[in-house]
Amino acid sequence: NLSTVSEFVFVGLSDAPEIRLLLFVLFLLLYLATMAGNITLLVAISTDPHLHSPMYFLLGNLSLLDLLCPTITVPKMLGALLLEHKEISFSGCLFQHFSLITVVGTEIFLLTVMAYDRYVAVCHPLRYPSIMSTKLCAQLAVGTWASGLLNSLLHTSLVFTLSFCGANKIQQYYCDIPPVLALSCSPTHSRELVILVVAGVLGSGACVVTVVSYIFILLEILARNSPGIWHKAFSTCGSHLTVVCLFYGTTISTYVRPSFTYSPHRDRVVSMLYGMLTPLLNPIIYSLRNKEVKCALKRVIK
């Protein structure tokens, strides 16, 4: 007597009208601030000749991803809060899921490439222009986007080829892997295992490359032991390291774990961190720690 699910319903962040309006205003302001910050940073990087370097080219890609990530999920959430339109079609949920996993995966790979870029800048400063050439930067950027796309194709095919024939209420404000898997009426253990292994291998691989890059940076700093080297190294790597810790911590705690540990309330909070706060904080972190970005942003604003 079960029928195939044709649409899903998001469980709202709050059913109380007064809280719902407050949340709408809060998330709208956060979304607008995120858009303004990342668009301004993109304009600064593209228009200022001083920022036409590999580091800022990669940072521009990060800002583009930080524009896309909240845009995929937040408008639908704002509509649910204001208009109480909480339904999303099966195909719409599939597209939202595919887009979000593409962006999240691409950002993980991009942050790894940025760690390698910082390693070359600190450990091989004289060879930096020849190693991080324009061609290599373009290839690395294309590779990160392609890897994110392929990773998302795998995850989306594993999730949305399952049968959905019972409950259709998603315990989240967007179509994410754990809450969608929880609604399937098919056996999910084997697919969960594949998702866990793939996410674990890719995530741990990215972490290993990042950690090894910073170990070599630390060894280089200790070997030089020159005055001011710690301050210079922190100004070069501090912003990236802060973003990595914030982003990796929230994404790994969401995806690299078995489904029986899924907690709707906790996952909503964690997803807010990497889905809204991280894209908001990234341009702030980079602009506060970088004099060149500060000057470029001032020129853009003027």
- Tell me the per-residue pLDDT of 39-59, one tens digit each, with 9 for 90 and over: 988 988 888 888 888 888 998
Question: Which string of b and e fits 233-257 if b means at least 16 CB within 10 Å?
Answer: beebbbbbbbbbebbbebbbebbbe
Residue in the block written with tokens 């994404």: 251
* 16-20, 219-223, 267-271: range with lowest mean pLDDT: 267-271
Domains detected in the chain: 7-301 (1.20.1070.10)
As given in the structure block, the two tokens for residue 209 are 């490359």
Largest CA distance in the chain: 75
Read off φ and ψ for residue 218, nearest 5 degrees. Answer: -65, -45
134-138, long-range: CB within 8 Å, 24+ apart, which pairs? 134/54, 137/54, 137/57, 137/58
3-state secondary structure of 170: strand
Is residue 226 over pLDDT 80?
Answer: no
CA dist 7 and 167 (Å) reads: 10
189: pLDDT confidence band, cut at 50, 70 and 90? confident
Q: CA angle, 244 as apex, 238 and 249 as ends, to 5°? A: 135
Q: How far is CA 260 from the centre of its chain?
A: 24
263: pLDDT confidence band, cut at 50, 70 and 90? low
Is residue 260 over pLDDT 90?
Answer: no
- What mean pLDDT do residues 185-195 have? 84
Of 243 and 156, the structure prediction assigns the larger pLDDT to 156
Is residue 265 over pLDDT 50?
Answer: yes
Give the residue ranges of DSSP H helices in the chain.
17-47, 54-83, 90-123, 128-131, 134-160, 177-181, 189-224, 229-255, 264-272, 278-289, 291-301
Provide the pLDDT for residue 26. Answer: 87
* 71-75, 97-101, 267-271: range with lowest mean pLDDT: 267-271
Of 31 and 186, the structure prediction assigns the larger pLDDT to 31
127 burial via Cβ count (<10 Å: 0-12, 13-18, 19+): exposed
Provide the pLDDT for residue 254. Answer: 60
Of 251 and 280, the structure prediction assigns the larger pLDDT to 280
- What mean pLDDT do residues 157-172 have? 84
- What mean pLDDT do residues 184-208 have? 84
- Structure-derived torsion over alpha carbons of residues 154, 160, 161, 167, reported in degrees to the nearest 10: 150
Please check whether residue 209 is in contact with residue 112, taking contact to mean a CB–CB distance below 8 angstroms.
yes
Beta-carbon contacts of 149 under 8 Å, excluding residues fewer than 6 positions away, are 102, 106
* 3-12, 141-150, 182-191: range with lowest mean pLDDT: 3-12
As given in the structure block, the two tokens for residue 129 are 């222009």
Classify residue 12 by its DSSP letter: P
Beta-carbon contacts of 138 under 8 Å, excluding residues fewer than 6 positions away, are none
As given in the structure block, the two tokens for residue 82 are 């204001």
CA dist 171 and 211 (Å) reads: 34
Of 54, 50, 200, nearest to 117 by C-alpha is 54
2 burial via Cβ count (<10 Å: 0-12, 13-18, 19+): exposed
